[in-house]
Structure 1
Amino acid sequence: MDLSSLIQAGKQLEAELIAFRRDLHRYPELSLQESGTAAKVAQRLSQLGMEYRSGVGGHGIVAELKGEQPGPMIALRADMDALPIHEESGLDFASERPGLMHACGHDAHTAILLGAAELLVGQKIKGSVRFLFQAAEEINAGAKAMIEQGALDGVAEIYGLHNLPTLSAGMTATRYGSLMGSVDRIEIHLEGRGGHGAIPDQSIDPVVCAANIIMSLQSIVSREVSPFDPVVVTIGSIKSGEANNVIPHYAELTGTIRTFDAKVQQQMAERIERIVQQIAAGYKCKATLKYIEQTPVLINHDGCNRHVEQVMDRMIGAARRIEAPPTLAGEDFSVYLQHVPGCFFWLGSGPAEDASHAYGLHHPKYELNEDCISLGAALLAAIALQRLSAN
């Protein structure tokens, strides 16, 4: 089987895939609001004559391509949602919806998976390919909802990709084991006693308490976790008070916790609860902590990762594949990997010459090099085809 021919076939689809991606980019939709995007995907699947189920896990779509002979089922996944970011890219096809942007490239992921589906239609396969067009990745809810509604039923392996603008288009990156971090959310409510800013002795100040909690939480990273276990504790929002001369009655904090090891992730809730409660007691405040587990560490399965690398090396050459550095950014593809073996990899989407200074994911000036789209489609198609070849 000549897998490299898929690259040429992908090139023939390039113009229509780019046009489809640009249309999605103009009209981004937030998590759990992807109805328009889903309708466009469904229309393309219908044109391909492919069976599909809509409304899975919100606005997700599950499509299936069945081979003529029995065999395993391989799943390929793409996410569809955008972000609440005002676009500053200056592109001709920039978002026409103020405050919304495909700043993570999920529009390209959707086009790539549709391209893979088109490349696989008519191929001789033993088994079947399931295409998961997932909603709500950005809020870490989509994968769980898809699984609950049967998206992985009967699936033997699952594969997915994410574009990376700091890696040149034409390049790929893989990693054995842990690739991306876990994602948990914390919400802290502190109750004090409000009063006049000039008479602090008659009040209980939740702002001072909050400041000390923020600083003390960092001691978890520096003094309670091994320096060889990456952990991030970030407080991203603080809300308290309305006037400069008033001690407020409450303070609310939200934050994110990232780890690179499942055991460390399991220990974080107790550590944060202990610090929050004891610091709050020291400042005579009442504290409530909500610790919300969102996604686990993304851990690739060795056999699946090896398969992906072999396909890449045959199609584009080993020189265009690098080892992916670990990152504490999260991805709910990790939830799928808790249920079935699979692999997630990076697809370069940055400038061909030097991508090191490109705007990163979630930046208002993020820009995707569209040369990556046809290659991504060919790679996903080949990953499935190589597993299900009838030859």
Structure 2
Amino acid sequence: MDTFMLAKQAEEYVVGLYRDLHEHPEIGMQEERTIQVIVDELSKLGIENEIIPHGGIIGIIEGDRPGKTIVLRADIDALPMKEEPNNLKQPKVVVSQDDRAAHTCGHDGHTAMLLGAAKILVENKQALEGKVILAFEQGEEVGGGIYRILSRLVEMGADGIWGIHLKSDIPTGKISVDAGPRMSGVSGFQVTIKGKSGHGSRPDLSFSPVDCFTDFHQSLQAMRLKSLDPFMPITYSIGSVSAGMAANVIPEELAFSGTIRYLHYEQGLAGAEEFIRLLERKCEEYHCTYHFDMKPVARNLSVYNEETCAGIAEQAIKKAIGEDVVYSYPAWMASEPFSFYQKYFPGVFAFVGIESKEKGTGAEHHNAFFEIDEDALPFGVAATVQYAIDFLQSNVSIDYPRESQSVADFFKEMNTKPYEPPVV
């Protein structure tokens, strides 16, 4: 098989799907039309499929010969935001028709590439030794679909997994499958600091939670340099702060929330402990108290490319597309539910470049100017197909610490609640 040639032959099909999905975005756990499009395409291709309620869609391709099983995963949801009609340089090729939602992260491209890969694989089943499971995950941005679709996959069983994320700052035509940590674990926090309110003319008679928070925040920025291992990345960010209603009133309370992100679990543990220690000390200094609405708890959930699988992926890309396509890229400090899959299945999360200075693509993800370079789509399709074939044919042993708990028990341990649909 000339995988890249087949991907180029399927390019019109893939681009057509991408444009259709881009024009009709649906936010997490509301992807009714998107799910129907995927089911219709799988059915047209003769691929057995099932809808996982509040989870996504699963399709199954049986190879002509028995063997292992691999999961190929894509996410399908959009973001609740309005898209700009232009990219960084010129008008976009296709724009959302809904001002309330937009595919400004690339999930429409992920879905289109997986359907393109499915088309090639089902038309070339004679090249498959084993089974391919296609997993289209709902609600990735809100963590809504992962529990139910992962539960079904664990029930079905698989030997490995592959996923793709289009990457806005990697050049088109390049793909990163570096081994090791690729995306961060995350700990969220929501905190309320309580002081003593009073009139702005007599701050000495009050205990200001604003002053307490300000000092805490400044100290938090320095904590990475003074208290944590500098060789293991970690980031802290405050996303919301709320306090007070009037300029001349020192408020009683201040609430803030944010995230801690880390590539190494031990750094996450240290970061959460230092966060709490620092908060206790600053509240004591300012005669304030605090309580957690959400306490920062480190979870061992970073996206990690298993070394053997990463080696298979690198060779697959070189074989299918070319030696110069493989691109080394540092870990991304964003987070992804793909880490949950990797607790049960060893595999690779690939970054596929979409940056083109000439075309104006390359705006950051979740940015209104974000756009995919459509020329990147065949690269993702070819890499997916070749990795699936090569993984299934590989006889190498993968020493991988698979999670032994049920998905339900694992979610409890990770302090993560499964999505519950609203009662109508």
Q: Distance in 2 between matches of 1:24 and 1:292?
A: 36
The amino acid of 1:345's aligned partner reads A
The 5 A counterparts of 1:156-171 are: 156-171=159-174
Partner of 1:39: 36
TM-score by length of 1: 0.92
Partner of 1:284: 287
Provide the aligned C-alpha RMSD in A: 2.2
3-state SS of paired residue (1:322): coil
Q: Distance in 2 between matches of 1:16 and 1:23?
A: 11
Q: In the alignment, is residue 242 of structure 1 matched against residue 238 of structure 2? A: no
Change (3 A) 1:225 1:67: same
The 5 A counterparts of 1:292-371 are: 296-351=301-356, 358-371=362-375
The 8 Å contact of residues 38 and 59 in structure 1, kept in 2 or not, is answered as no
Deviation per CA, 1:183-217: give whole Å up to 9, x if none. Answer: 22111111223332223233332111111121122
Partner of 1:220: 223
The 8 Å contact of residues 268 and 298 in structure 2, kept in 1 or not, is answered as no
3-state SS of paired residue (1:166): strand
- Number of aligned pairs? 385
Q: Distance in 1 between matches of 2:33 and 2:255?
A: 35
Q: In the alignment, is residue 84 of structure 1 matched against residue 85 of structure 2? A: no
Q: How far 1:145 sits from its partner (Å)?
A: 3.9
Change (3 A) 1:336 1:215: same
Q: How far 1:132 sits from its partner (Å)?
A: 0.8
The amino acid of 2:254's aligned partner reads A
Q: Distance in 2 between matches of 1:188 and 1:99?
A: 30
3-state SS of paired residue (2:255): strand
Q: In the alignment, is residue 199 of structure 1 matched against residue 196 of structure 2? A: no
Q: How far 1:141 sits from its partner (Å)?
A: 4.7
The amino acid of 1:180's aligned partner reads M
Out of 33, 54, 58, the position equivalent to 2:51 is 54
TM-score by length of 2: 0.85
Q: Distance in 2 between matches of 1:152 and 1:257?
A: 32
Partner of 1:70: 66
Q: Distance in 1 between matches of 2:156 and 2:201?
A: 64
The 10-residue stretch of structure 1 (257-266 or 190-199) with the greater mean CA deviation from structure 2 = 190-199
Q: How far 1:18 sits from its partner (Å)?
A: 1.3
3-state SS of paired residue (1:319): helix
The 8 Å contact of residues 268 and 299 in structure 2, kept in 1 or not, is answered as no
The 10-residue stretch of structure 1 (132-141 or 170-179) with the greater mean CA deviation from structure 2 = 132-141
Partner of 2:25: 28
Deviation per CA, 1:312-350: give whole Å up to 9, x if none. Answer: 111121112121222212222122112221011111112
The 10-residue stretch of structure 1 (261-270 or 292-301) with the greater mean CA deviation from structure 2 = 292-301
**Aligned residues: percent identity?**
32
The 8 Å contact of residues 168 and 353 in structure 1, kept in 2 or not, is answered as no
Change (3 A) 1:67 1:294: same
Q: In the alignment, is residue 105 of structure 1 matched against residue 106 of structure 2? A: yes
Change (3 A) 1:13 1:363: same
Deviation per CA, 1:290-312: give whole Å up to 9, x if none. Answer: 22557722111111000110111
The 10-residue stretch of structure 1 (109-118 or 7-16) with the greater mean CA deviation from structure 2 = 7-16
Change (3 A) 1:148 1:280: farther
Partner of 1:19: 16
The 8 Å contact of residues 112 and 376 in structure 1, kept in 2 or not, is answered as yes
Out of 176, 179, 184, the position equivalent to 1:181 is 184
The amino acid of 1:169's aligned partner reads T
